[in-house]
């Protein structure tokens, strides 16, 4: 059996039986956070090492995707999402996550 995607590689290499794949991958300059839905759809977010709150951001992104893409009768899977409300809510969620992380970083310094 040929495995080529990141999820398949992670589950094969994991010491945990029936691993759910990679949730966080830490590199020298960034972190990659992954959220996999029950249907197998994966959301990836690349962040700075210090970014916090990515679990809630990933769940919010899935909620936005569900509301503005999956519930849209004109949307086809694997096609670009062309919806102003989707773009607006996506930007708002990312901005809120960045502000929350910056606030948390300032609180830990004080």
Distance CA 3, CA 13 (A): 11
pLDDT for 29-68, tens place per residue? 999 888 888 888 888 899 888 888 888 999 999 999 999 9
Tell me the CA distances in angstroms from 22 to 34, 70, 98, 105, one per residue in order. 6, 25, 23, 25
Name which of 73-77, 85-89, 98-102 the model is least confident about. Answer: 98-102
For the domain made up of 6-109, give the CATH fold.
Answer: Beta-Lactamase (3.30.450)
Compute CA 73 distance to the chain's CA centroid, rounded to the nearest angstrom.
24
pLDDT for 17-35, tens place per residue? 776 677 888 889 999 888 8
* Helices (H), ranges, the chain: 6-13, 54-65, 84-109
- The residue assigned the tokens 């839905």 is 37
């Amino acid at each position: 059996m040929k495995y080529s995607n990141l999820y398949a590689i992670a589950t094969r290499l994991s010491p945990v039986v029936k691993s759910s794949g990679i949730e966080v991958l830490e590199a020298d300059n960034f972190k990659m956070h992954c959220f996999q839905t029950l249907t197998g759809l994966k959301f990836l977010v690349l962040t700075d090492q210090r970014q916090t709150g990515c679990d809630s951001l990933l769940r919010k992104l899935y909620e936005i995707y569900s509301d503005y893409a999956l519930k849209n009768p004109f949307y086809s899977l694997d096609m670009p999402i062309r919806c102003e409300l989707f773009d607006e809510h996506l930007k708002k969620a990312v901005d809120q996550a960045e502000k929350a992380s910056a606030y948390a970083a300032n609180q830990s310094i004080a």
